[in-house]
Amino acid sequence: MYPTELKRLIKSIKTKDDMKYILTKYKRFCQSKHNFKIGKVIHVYDKFQTNYSYTLTGKKFDPEFKPAYTPRQMLMMGVFEGKYLNDCLLEFPREWFIDAFDKLSPEAPDATINKFRIKSRMSISEWIKRGWIIGDDPRGWFQWYCRYYLGRREPEIDKIQIGRWKRYVRHYQQIKKNCGRDMKCRPKQRQSLLQWSWKVR
C-alpha cells in the first residue's frame, strides 16, 4: 500500500522537519480533507498500528454526542503536549498537521504548547492499566474521536466512548460553579476538558 521508504520514514519521525519532509515529498499519500468521503478505505500505518484499516461509513453524529471542537481545532489550540498524532500523517487529513504545525512537538512532550500551558494527561501505559484503551484505538479517546469524525462507525465502541465523553461534563460543571469567567482558574482541569472536546471558557 505504501512505499517501503515512506514506511521507514513514518516509523523514524523525530522532528518537525521529518514531518514536513513526508508531507511535502509524499503529498499524494498524505491526503487532503476533501478526499475523506463515504466509502473510502483508510489504511493505517504508524508507530502503533501497521495492519489495521477501516471504511468511512457515516458522517452523521450520534445526537447525544456534541463535541465543542473538531480534531483540527483541538490540535491548533494545543493539546497533549504536541505529541499525540505526529506519526499519523498517512491516516488523517494533512491540513490537520499543517494548520497546527506550531503546536506539534514530535521531539518530546512540551506542556508549554498546550493551550493552558500545563500538563494534563497520564501516560498511555497508565491508560492501559486503568482499562481506558478499548477497541482498535491504541491511543485512546482522542484517536477514537478523530476516526469517528472522519466517518468510521463501530456502534458498540462508539457507544462506550460517547458515554465517557458525556460523563466528562462533571468537570465542565465544576469549573462553571467555581471559576465564573476567570480563565486562570483550574488550568489543569480546563486543559483536560479541551482534550475531551468540551467547551473551555
Q: What is the DSSP string of 179-193?
A: HTT-TTSSHHHHHHH
Other CB atoms within 10 Å distance of the CB of residue 199: 13
Q: Where are the domains of the chain?
A: 4-166
At residue 180 the predicted structure's pLDDT band, cuts being 50, 70 and 90, is confident
pLDDT of residue 132: 81
What are residue 192's phi and psi, to 5 degrees? -65, -40
Question: Taking the CA of residue 149 as centre, how many other CA atoms within 13 Å lie in the half-sphere pointing to its CB?
Answer: 21
- pLDDT for 183 beyond 90: no
Q: Which amino acid is at 160?
A: I
Return d(Cα 26, Cα 21) in angstroms, integer: 8
pLDDT digits (tens, 9 = 90+) for 109-165: 999 999 999 988 777 788 788 888 999 999 999 999 999 999 999 999 999 999 999
**pTM score:** 0.95
